[in-house]
Amino acid sequence: MKITVTTHSLEEAQKLAKDWLASLPQKTDEATIVGLYGNLGSGKTTFTQSVARELGINSAVTSPTFVIEKLYETTHPYFARLIHIDAYRLESGRELQTLNFEDLVDNPNNLILIEWPENVKEILPENHLKILCEFVDENSRKFEIL
């Protein structure tokens, strides 16, 4: 099912994150992997920050452009960890293997959000969730959830 939502504020982005999290299946055999697609400034990191707040993460969530991956413990009843990956500087999925990506994927209690997933597409499962993010104007972003 495809859903398109345009947010005009951080509060609306937070509601989108809350509704999206509630729509995810509660029982899976492996991690929930989400590709966040979109250009610079399209709302990928803001969406991740909103999801993090909904998961009970109180620490600052910033894009892990230089460290590639950040792990956060949550207080969520189903997702124990949020893994935030920024693949902008990566040239292939093999580079994620050095971060034990397969182990992260094997854990059904992990929620993995990947910015710039097209850079590591060969390592992602075909059925990973996709969110297309688009800059509309200074305050607005469009999110297409596929």
pTM: 0.95
What distance in Å separates the CA atoms of residue 2 and residue 130, rounded to the nearest whole number? 10
26 or 74: which leads in pLDDT: 74
Two tokens at 12? 């609306």
State the pLDDT confidence band at 66, using cuts at 50, 70 and 90.
confident
Query: 77 near 110, Cβ under 8 Å?
Result: no
Tokens for 90, please give them.
Answer: 């990566």
Task: Give the class (CATH, top level) of 9-22+29-145.
Answer: alpha beta
Domain coordinates of the chain in residue numbers? 9-22+29-145
Residue position matching structure tokens 């950040």: 70
The average confidence (pLDDT) of the chain is 94
Instruction: Look at residue 20 and tell me whether its pLDDT is greater than 70.
Output: yes
* 69 contacts: CB under 8 Å, gap ≥ 6: 83, 84, 85, 86, 99
Is the separation of the CB atoms in 4 and 144 below 8 Å?
Answer: yes
> Dihedral angle at the C-alpha atoms of 102, 50, 55, 82, nearest 10 degrees?
10
